[in-house]
Structure 1
Amino acid sequence: MIPQRTRDLLDQAVEKQGLCGAAFGVVDTDGQGETYGLGWAAREPEPLPLDGETWWDLASLTKPLFTAREILRVVEEGLLDLDDPLSAHLPDLAWMQETLLKARTLRQLLTHTAGLPAWAPLYTWGDATTIRARLLQEPWRLRAPGEVVYSDLGYLLLGTVLERVRGVPLRAFGLDEGLTFTPDRAHSAATERCPWRGRVLRGETHDENAWALGGVAGHAGLFGTLAGVLTQAKGLLRERWLSPAAQAAATRPQAGGRSLAFVAAQPGWSGGSLCGERAFGHTGFTGTGLWVEPELGLAWVLLTNRVHPSRHGTLDIQALRRAVGNTLLAARG
């Protein structure tokens, strides 16, 4: 099921292009699958091998696999609507300020069309309590609604909405097997030698803002094994990830090639150029990704720690992702 050409590309990335380690898996609609792992869980401070139970920092795969999915589950329960204004669930947002952010909707946050900036160094603001308060009160400079700006800030606010609706912190939410917010460090792939934290990161989120908020936020903090993420891919492929209506909403393109949870196939996207119009997927900064091709009945997951020991390596992870997708789909026929 995994073509030799795909294996060769991954081998070259590890042996010649500086990639530390990779775990790759494929699954089809019949439930048949195959996996391939190579490289190392860590090279620094000492070499550590990968195994089938290695936890990977999923980075922005947190957005679709946790935050967007949980928002849609709340919608299924009738506790909120996607077109609710943000202020309906965060009444203390921009307290005693006039801002258009109050009227921006949950749908706009999910599709990255709320006009929020992409990122801000929240981890420099102070402790977690201060960051949480300032996130709601910061006078964000907004773009016009509708323009797609991929924004961690929007998903940070969605995480806050989830905590308010459920009445518990994100860390207390239930997760499927193979997903966790608290991985075993001894069985986790290392990410960066972090200049701010002064250590090689293993078993703690690579994302600075999520770490400053206690390790879990709406945009990052989720860890997964290859088997765990493949289970998510299988659920998406077989349309058992949410209710039929909610899953259709999660995967249907809405704005700028984005659905409520994923990125639709389009020129230059991470899944490669051989995907059909219904294909979708998502990636994470640490080197992770999940893709689903419904027309060919195939889904695949590539988990890497391409930021180890530094995010400033020479590997072109986007080119590798596209090449993997193209060789896999070409062999599928």
Structure 2
Amino acid sequence: MIVHKRIGAVLALSFAAAYCVTAGAQENYPSKPIRFIIGFPPGGSNNIVARLIAPKLTEYLGQQVVVDNRGGANTSIATALAAQAKPDGYTILMNAPGHTTNPSLIDNLSYDSIRDFEFITQIGRGSNLLATHPSFPPRSVSELISYSKANPGKVNYGSSGIGTSVHLSAELFQYMTQVKWVHLPYKGGGPGMVALLAGEISLYFGNVPTVIRHVRAGKLNGLATTGLKRSPAAPKLPTVAESGVPGYEVTSWWGLSAPAGTPRPILQRLHKATIRALNEPDVRKLLESLGAEILGTTPEEYAAFIRHEIDKWGKVIKAAGIKRQ
């Protein structure tokens, strides 16, 4: 009996000590640099947003927030790395649309897009812009639908790769309007835009900042943007939804998450710091210049958004017959 009491006392002390260490670590957080994983190579809007937010988090948290670019496989390489990290607040992940499309595009993912993450906040979102070459007859979304139905299989469009928001913008359009186009995937957004400017493809859903300058220069025709609201960077262009395809919405978006099991007090501190950063005038100005709508949602709102997008794109990808990789 005495031995059992002693063992019980030792276990109780061990649990108490472990609790104190854990609680102390949370109170002192952060006490070392934080790794900020991005699923893209340097360059592009995702990298711009991450490197805009990171210095602000460094300032507010008192420790260096280091951007770690791990591009490839539509962000799944970076996402897997974050999912496997220790849930102590020293690894955070920049989420992008691939987080919600990969479950329907890639076989044998090493992570679960919902269960393996704690969602902190959705930073913002931006629209794509449906642009056409000047030689292509349609000048509006309604004309594009009519022309496509009259010429099935003769309209081609480019994308920056299979499963990207550029590709899925076109697939959702076809799904909702019952038209059929020919897909020509390119190795990135740059080659896709070059093909459109050269007239090698009829249309392209590029991100607003990249496409709008060519529209303003008269090199391309802008038909509509893909968000539910008009883009701040192209306010004169209607949305696809208001142009005759109600409910149509595709956005490029950015959000923050951490490995599942990260302590709530740490998540709350990261959320508070990120919201503070999003309210800084210089951050807002740059994000708005990218055509972004700044959000700063609650963790609950962000998690609900992730679940909705996974369900939405699962249906579109299945209907489009896009093969899993």
TM (norm. structure 1) is 0.29
Greater CA radius of gyration, 1 or 2? 2
TM-score using structure 2 length: 0.30
Higher helix residue share? 2
